[in-house]
Structure 1
Amino acid sequence: MDPNAIVREERTGLGSIRIADEVVKVIAGLATIEIKGVAGMSGGLAGGIAEMLGRKNLAKGIKVEVGEKEAAVDLFVIMEYGIRIPDVAAQIQESVKNAVERMTGLIVVEVNVNVQGVAFASESREEEHRVR
């Protein structure tokens, strides 16, 4: 394991417990995509269009900064069309904070939600109904 990737190490009477930053990213990603209104994580902008990541690439849409006891999380998401973005973003912040703190013991001081795009899932359904 890369020593630079270790975000938290705790010594116990039986040895040490290490949590890698990749683990924190996956926890944050799973907590994010559970929120209604989130279409997926964004891998960045490719040609001016947000690239949506699948479930296997959740950690790529997340950046974490972790100290010995605290963590900050930056999320890059794509929202579903029609939702109220500030409300969903607030739910994401709360969900990620709770999940990371509960599972790692770190104190989450920031959860920054960066909306990279909007997914229009209903467009294909409308076209199918017109054809029939």
Structure 2
Amino acid sequence: MEYELTEHGTVHIADEVIQIIAGLATNEVEGVAGMSGSLAGGLTESLTGRKNLAKGVKVQFTENSRDCLIDISVVLKFGVSIPDTSYQIQERVKQSIENMTGLGVSSVNIHVVGIVFQSEKDKLEDADQVANIEQSLQL
């Protein structure tokens, strides 16, 4: 995204920056177990050992406008209210992007792609469960 900020020049904001802001804001919401991304993103994470903060976030810009549309794919924890948690994600993502970039957010679409179950006997790390869900969804 590019827009003119002052008479001194322009500001360029990469899509990846907006994806990272949205990903971080999403992971701050209670009830979110993780984000769901592509198989390539999962392989990159496992090879580099770095968490992909933009995983599961897609950004689209409306033409001739400083507005964007955000699609987020999430895995939620079992027992949370899906509508309430989705609303909280939408609000937090919209507020974070608008405050940090000055861009408008026309909509935040939430795609719940899985639910993580946790038992008292066998509690696995959320990241491992999300990775397993992603692999099963992509097969």
TM-score, normalised via structure 1 length: 0.77
Greater C-alpha Rg? 1
Q: What is the SS of the residue equivalent to 2:36?
A: strand
Contact 1:44 1:76 (8 Å CA) reproduced: no
Q: What is the SS of the residue equivalent to 1:99?
A: helix
Q: What is the SS of the residue equivalent to 1:39?
A: strand
Instruction: Indicate the residue corresponding to 2:102 in structure 1.
Output: 105
Gaps of 5+ in 1: 1-6, 46-50
Contact 2:38 2:55 (8 Å CA) reproduced: no
Number of equivalenced pairs? 114
Task: State whether structure 2 residue 32 is matched by structure 1 residue 35.
Answer: no
Deviations 1:73-112 (A, max 9, x none): 0000000111111100000000001001111111111100
Q: What is the SS of the residue equivalent to 2:55?
A: helix
AA of the residue aligned to 2:82? I
Aligned mates of 1:44, 1:18 — CA distance in 2: 26
Cα deviation for residue 55 of structure 1 reads: 7.5
Instruction: Indicate the residue corresponding to 1:24 in structure 2.
Output: 18
Instruction: Indicate the residue corresponding to 2:85 in structure 1.
Output: 88
Q: What is the SS of the residue equivalent to 2:23?
A: helix
Task: State whether structure 2 residue 112 is matched by structure 1 residue 118.
Answer: no
Cα deviation for residue 11 of structure 1 reads: 4.3
Aligned mates of 1:108, 1:55 — CA distance in 2: 28
TM-score, normalised via structure 2 length: 0.73
